Amino acid sequence: MTVGLENKADSALVKQSEAPAKKTSTSASAKTPTSGPLSKEPKLTPPSGPAPTKLEIKDLIAGTGPEVKAGASVTVNYVGVLYKGGKTFDASWKRGEPSTFSLSGVIPGWTKGIPGMKVGGRRELVIPAALAYGAKGSPPSIPANAPLVFVIDMLGT
């Protein structure tokens, strides 16, 4: 799914009201690792229970590299699923390369949920609809008022 971007690698995360994100080159340290826990796509188990009303942040793997600052440009691998039903709507893993973009041009759940993460870490964000795409959704993949779940591997800043 894309939202009018020049490059499919920067897809559902970019706010529809923002200018397209520009894909930037990645350094050797910002590529998908060939071994270790961040070398394989994470498996997400669809959540259950009531939809979240606040952003939920959970570090699955603690990173040891530099800490991501607000508004930084980041290189990540990620999987995004709908909270209800667990259907994958976007995944950098499916494109075969990480995505690079600025945290100032993504959905609010990422803008608030990524700073403080360290390179080499894996984080789960459970994002309420108000911090995702809200009442408009992002048709056809993300319906209106849909909470989202992401697992993000931080590869570089």
Kindly report the CATH number assigned to the domain that includes residue 126.
Answer: 3.10.50.40
Residue 2 has pLDDT above 60, yes or no: no
In-domain check, residue 22: no
**Among 37-41, 60-64, 92-96, the range of highest mean pLDDT:** 60-64
d(CA 83, CA 96): 24
- In sequence order, what are the residues at sequence separation of 6 or more whose Cβ sits closer than 8 angstroms to the Cβ of residue 63? 117, 118, 119, 120, 121, 122, 154
How many domains is the chain partitioned into structurally? 1
In-domain check, residue 16: no
d(CA 84, CA 62): 27
Read off φ and ψ for residue 55, nearest 5 degrees: -60, 130
In-domain check, residue 12: no
d(CA 19, CA 15): 8
> Between residues 80 and 39, which one has the greater pLDDT?
80
In-domain check, residue 127: yes
> Between residues 16 and 55, which one has the greater pLDDT?
55
d(CA 88, CA 110): 17
> Between residues 98 and 96, which one has the greater pLDDT?
98
- pLDDT at position 105 is 94
In-domain check, residue 60: yes
Domain that holds residue 74: 30-39+49-156
In-domain check, residue 9: no
Which tokens is 94 given? 């499916």
